[in-house]
Each structure stands twice: as C-alpha cells, then as structure tokens.
Amino acid sequence: MEKQHLREKLAELHAALQDASSLDEESREALREVMDDIRGALERGHKHESLVERLREAVDRFEGTHPALTEAAGRVIDALSNLGI
C-alpha cells in the first residue's frame, strides 16, 4: 500500500514538473534523475537513504520559484520516509 502511495506521489511530481515550464534545464534534469532512481529502487526493492537527500538538493534549486513543484516533491519525500527510505 505504501509503495502504491509513493508511485502516486511520483506521478504527481512528474505532472508538476511538466507544468513548470520556467524551470531551468539543470534543475529539471536533476529532478528527473532522482525520480528515475526512486522508481528503480521501488522496482528492485532496494532502499537508498541518499534518495531523499538528493531529492531535497534538487528541490533547493527551485524552492522559492516553483511552489507547486516543491509541494509535490515534499509529498514524495514524506512517502519515502513512510517506507523507511
């Protein structure tokens, strides 16, 4: 159940990323990479503590300029925490 919740939050984050047209390419790519790594960890059943830290670092780049994207990323971080990642 918690993994499904995380998948849903990742989908929301992906949608918010698509809507953030003014986000610079470097920030966009950093966020895409960590999202891909989170999906990969879910598929393999691995837990990587660095994923939350990497997501937080990506969010730091656009936190003040993209509140919807920041909020969506925060929900993914919460879901990761609920899974013990």
Mean pLDDT calculated for residue range 54-69: 89
**Above pLDDT 90, what percent of the chain?**
29
The pLDDT, as a whole number, for residue 66 is 92
**Confidence tier at 51 by pLDDT (50, 70, 90):** confident
The pLDDT, as a whole number, for residue 46 is 65
Residue 73: other Cβ atoms inside 10 A: 26
Q: How many domains does the chain have?
A: 1
**Which of 84, 85, 79 minimizes the C-alpha distance to 13?**
79
Domain of residue 26 covers 2-82
